[in-house]
Amino acid sequence: MRVVVALGGNALDGKTRQGVYAAQVRNALAASRQILEIVKAGHQVVLTHGNGPQVGNLALQQELSAADVPPQPLHVLDSMTQGQIGYLLQREIGNALKECSIARPVVSVVTQVLVDAKDGAFGDPTKPIGPFYDQGTAKRLAKERGYVIRRVKPRGARAFRRVVPSPEPIGIVEAGAISTLVRSGAIVVASGGGGVPVVPDRRGRLRGVDAVVDKDLAAEKLAEAVDADALLILTDVEKVKLSYGKPGERGIDRMTATEARRHAGEGHFPAGSMGPKVLACVRFVERGGALGVIASFRKGAEALEGGSGTRITADPTPREKGRKEPG
């Protein structure tokens, strides 16, 4: 199968989430081993990743050095972290392939993602980024830099964070180039962190906007763009769960798109965590993809073969009932 694999940014930053280079290298190496197992199983891989911890750290660096170096807009930080993480992944995956005598180029593409300038998210920023602030610092940054700041913790001295819009992804600007690379046999790292959000003007010229596109929803658009068979979202839990953290909690082995939407409507998948992952898989299979899988970062290859994770498929037609699913 052709598989789009989506890694969370936290998976690369480690448990401390402090952005230590050595830790990011170790985690990129762990990711490369998972990708290697998927490649050795005969699948073609397109890789994407989150960048939440990395872009947050970079934003903090910008603030701390603002007196000496002009700070860059958020969309530029998005592109910088795409390059940072893409470099680590392509290097470590390339090393892993070489150790197994697999001749396969690995390429990372700084990717732009189209969004709608009229998306309602621009009028209601909700995505927290960067460090936590005390109230005084929050007010100062709101005045000096125009940040939208909101309280994100109910108590504590540092309970405020900057929030930015999180618009819906419409399409991948570099879709044609990425598809060409994929057809050439390359392993492509693309659309990192949800991509750099851009909007066209009346003449079709693109400009970056300060926003964060959900990386799982952007991964679904990437999967469409490269005509993938499967969308594999790797996270820190082994399965999607119903009644998470409550009495009666249970893992789900498989769902149809309709079942997933029903569970989501019942409130089982929080918007800030599992919700976008389930929605991305549902959209993918509803738009023609064969299989969506949500699984543990450590069990990606196993999950593709049906031995772990939660599998999401389209609703079967009467003829398709009983037909064996891919993988």
**Cα–Cα distance between 87 and 125 in angstroms, integer?**
30
Q: Which of 86, 192, 215, 327 is catalytic?
A: 215
Residue 324 DSSP code: P
Q: Which of 8, 52, 277, 327 is catalytic?
A: 277
Active site residue 98: no
For the record, the structure tokens of 167 come out as 């618009």
Q: Which of 8, 9, 56, 195 is catalytic?
A: 9
In degrees and rounded to multiples of 5, residue 233 shows phi and psi of: -105, 115
With beta carbons less than 8 A apart as the criterion, state whether 222 and 82 touch: no
Closest CA to 179 of 191, 171, 170, 188: 188
Q: Which of 8, 127, 221, 292 is catalytic?
A: 127
**3-state secondary structure string across 194-252:** HCEEEEECCCCCEEECCCCCCHHHHHHHHHHHCCCCEEEEEECCCCCEECCCCCCCEEC
Active site residue 239: no
From the CA atom positions of the chain, what is the Rg in Å? Answer: 20
Active site residue 10: yes
Contacts 24+ apart (CB under 8 A), 134-142: 134/158, 134/159, 134/160, 135/159, 135/160, 141/63
Q: Which of 10, 14, 95, 299 is catalytic?
A: 10
**Cα–Cα distance between 62 and 148 in angstroms, integer?**
17
Active site residue 27: no
Query: How distant is the alpha carbon of residue 28 from its chain centre?
Result: 15
242-271 burial string, b = 16+ CB within 10 Å, else e?
beeeeeeeeebebbbbeebbebbeeebbee
Active site residue 118: no
With beta carbons less than 8 A apart as the criterion, state whether 297 and 235 touch: yes
Instruction: List residues with catalytic annotation.
Output: 9-10, 127, 215, 277
